[in-house]
Amino acid sequence: MKKIISILFISVFLLFSCGSKTKFQDLPIEKQETIVKEVYEKIQNGISSIDMSSYTNQANLTEDNLKKLSEQMDKVVDSAIEDLKKSNKDIDFSVLEERLKNEDFKSM
């Protein structure tokens, strides 16, 4: 009987401990800073890999081209977020993800 109770207790404990993720904002500041630097580096590298030749000429700055550029930048941000989630599966990045999606990266 004691074995059953202890197994049940351990199972419930594991269920609750494995199911919960640490929130990004609850991490130590140093860890948050490191993660943010890594993400911004990935985003900056992704943006610098976008072919800007069609956007540098004033005549090519049509609304359609600007929309395409914005979509490419969104893909870069989404890719950086997905990489972050894959490498840190035990952390909930919803707050950081929301902030990154609202960030204006056009100045990079």
**Which residue in the block uniquely carries the two structure tokens 């550029």?**
69
Per-residue pLDDT tens for 28-80?
999 989 999 998 899 899 888 887 776 666 666 777 877 888 888 889 989 99
Domain count, the chain: 1
Per-residue pLDDT tens for 71-105?
888 899 899 989 988 988 888 888 888 888 777 66
Q: Tell whether 80 is covered by a domain.
A: yes
Tell me how far apart the alpha carbons of residues 93 and 100 are, in angstroms, rounded to a whole number: 10
Helix (H, G, I), strand (E, B) or coil at 74: helix
Tell me how far apart the alpha carbons of residues 74 and 71 are, in angstroms, rounded to a whole number: 5
Residue 7 has pLDDT above 70, yes or no: no
State the angle between helix axes of 29-48 and 94-102 in degrees (0 to 180), rounded to the nearest 10. 40
Q: Tell whether 11 is covered by a domain.
A: no
DSSP class of 1:
-
Average pLDDT over residues 11-34: 73
Q: Tell whether 2 is covered by a domain.
A: no
| Length reported for the chain | 108
Its domain, for residue 90, covers 23-102
